[in-house]
Amino acid sequence: STGTRFEKEAKGISEMVIKDIRLICSFPGGRIDHGHHAGQAVRALRDALAMADACETAMNMTNRGN
């Protein structure tokens, strides 16, 4: 295997984030645009607010200084 331990760990973390984002986008809250196209404005708004809350939680859980 090639690459340093750091490079391998960084790649693993990147792959994990990609999988997590794909998972989030598969939930109804990640399909906000579909609600707009289906004429379900209230559902789309609720999903948008839920996604905003989830993003705020993720930001609060991370250290932006690192």
Give me the chain's average pLDDT, please.
75
| Band of residue 35 on the pLDDT scale cut at 50, 70, 90 | low
pLDDT of res. 65: 67
pLDDT of res. 54: 81
Mean pLDDT across 51-55 = 82
pLDDT at 29 over 60: no
Question: What's the pTM value of the predicted model, to 2 decimals?
Answer: 0.49
Mean pLDDT across 5-28 = 77
CA distance 49 to 52: 5
Contact 48, 54 (CB under 8 A): no
Both structure tokens of 7: 């490079």
